Amino acid sequence: RVNPLVRAGTDALLVPAARRAHRVITATEVARAEIVEELGLPPGKIAIIPHGAHPPPTGLRDVAGVRARLDAGERPIVLAVGTNVEHKNHAALLAGIAALDPGERPLLVIAGHGTDELAPRAAELGVDARLLGGVSDEELEDLYAAATVYATATRHEGFGLPVIEAMGRGLPVVASDLPVLREVAGELGWYFTDPAGLADTLRTLLAGGDEVERRRRLGLAAAQRFTWAATAERTLAAYEAALSTITKTRFV
């Protein structure tokens, strides 16, 4: 939960700055619509520049070693990444796993600061989960390599960078049915609205098949478009547009 004082301070600084700015940058059409609605900015003032995602490292990962450290046994691994804050809604992932019969449950692994605090809820639901807390970049790459499916139950995002990271590492993605995540992952993702829907979708993904492989393969290719070089180029163009506006204003 965001500290109310932090939120008040952010609003006091950022809202006037956005209204004074010659250009505002955001990552998605959905986020632009929210900014227009909340701040009353003209849509043309807001540049949409998707985030980039680091490509996976070259070389093989020690997947067997990662699985052994997680004590995964023969189970598939469902990975989630994100700090344990309210809108990330990690508890819904636990509920979705709990909705599966015990014999068909994958191992749920959640990486992110504060996720160890979910242990009491996991125990209450009888879900065997690895709640890792914060992890290093190297550890995160190991988890992506060992995972079978990437999952997120987030209630709100401006973009959803881990979704692109997971797709770029060849993982099927199951996500809460949010317009912003549909904008980013499109028809290559799988979507759910409640824990029962998550359980049903996980059954489909873990069973595999032609459609799962098709989306996985196309997602891998689609994620390659999200590069930091492209983000930098479009950001530079936004700055140039802002400078052009300033110049015209001064000399008109």
pLDDT digits (tens, 9 = 90+) for 113-162: 999 999 999 999 999 999 999 999 999 999 999 999 999 999 999 999 99
Query: Per-residue pLDDT averaged across 223-240, rounded?
Result: 95
Percent of the chain with pLDDT strictly greater than 70: 96
Query: Per-residue pLDDT averaged across 226-239, rounded?
Result: 96
User: pLDDT value at position 248?
Assistant: 60
pLDDT band at 12, cuts 50/70/90?
confident
Across the chain, what does the average pLDDT equal? 93
User: pLDDT value at position 91?
Assistant: 96
User: pLDDT value at position 5?
Assistant: 78
Query: Per-residue pLDDT averaged across 229-242, rounded?
Result: 95
Closest CA to 171 of 220, 223, 226, 224: 220
User: pLDDT value at position 251?
Assistant: 47
Digit-coded pLDDT (tens) for 26-38: 999 999 999 999 9
User: pLDDT value at position 164?
Assistant: 96
Digit-coded pLDDT (tens) for 157-191: 999 999 999 999 999 999 999 999 999 999 999 99
pLDDT band at 219, cuts 50/70/90?
very high
pTM of the predicted structure, to 2 decimals: 0.91
User: pLDDT value at position 15?
Assistant: 85
Three-state SS for the chain is CCCHHHHHHHHHHHHHHHHHCCCEEECCHHHHHHHHHHHCCCHHHEEECCCCCCCCCCCCCCHHHHHHHHCCCCCCEEEEECCCCHHHCHHHHHHHHHCCCHHHCCEEEEECCCHHHHHHHHHHHCCCEEEEECCCHHHHHHHHHHCCEEEECCCCCCCCHHHHHHHCCCCCEEEECCHHHHHHHHHHCEEECCHHHHHHHHHHHHHCCHHHHHHHHHHHHHHCCCCHHHHHHHHHHHHHHHHHHHHHHHHC
User: pLDDT value at position 247?
Assistant: 65
